[in-house]
Amino acid sequence: MHEAVVCLEPCQKPIPGCDEHPCPRICGTTCPPKCKVVIKDVVMPGCGHIQDLPCHEAKNLDGAFCKEDVHYQMPGCGHWLAVSCSELKSPENISCTAACGALLTCGHPCRKSCCSCRSKKEDGEVQVNHGECLETCKRPYTTCSHFCSSVCHGEEPCELCRAPCEEKCSHSGKSPFRRLCLEFTDL
């Protein structure tokens, strides 16, 4: 009858590689390839951290991945990162994701990730390139009360203000004159 109808009774087969836990599915379905029953308080080899792991990982701790967050100081830049303990097995593969923070020539701090600013040359020397500043200028305009909303442009003068002007027209009472600030610079 199992060939013609899907059996809805609990599966009686063992999960491949596990003789402790029964298959969690119904009889008429395929058993999972690995036992995913959670084993509590497994001591990880090498680091001693305690983890809850799926049964198939707890039976083979050589391939287990310790997910405990640890603090690691990146060589070269000195930033501290929270990385998983297992990542420390190959620190050369850890990229610094902290904000670079270096002061750019315009005076703004670099907001890019540190790894995007630093690269190694073929000879192993670290090359630093911050690229263009991505901050908003925010300098006050001298002709109105607005602030420059363009991307940082260093010492170059700000573009003309494009915000609606707060100037009031004497003919229209309390409503603002609907021209842009940049139009007033032409008058």
Contact yes or no for 28/8 (Cβ under 8 A): yes
- Name the band, by pLDDT with cuts 50, 70 and 90, for residue 185: low
pLDDT at 58: 86
State yes or no: pLDDT of 15 exceeds 90.
no
pLDDT of 127 > 60? The answer is yes
Express each pLDDT in 140-154 by its tens digit.
Answer: 988 888 899 888 888
Distance, in Å, from the CA atom of 78 to the CA atom of 114, rounded to the nearest integer, reads 10
Number of CB atoms found within 10 A of residue 75's CB: 10
Structure tokens at 147: 């602030």
Question: By the 8 A CB rule, do 118 and 128 touch?
Answer: yes
Q: Is the pLDDT of residue 26 over 70?
A: yes
Domain boundaries, the chain: 1-61, 97-118+126-131, 136-187
How high is the pLDDT of residue 92?
84
Asked whether the predicted pLDDT for residue 55 surpasses 90, the reply is no
Q: pLDDT exceeding 90 applies to what percent of the chain? A: 10
Distance CA 132, CA 149 (A): 16
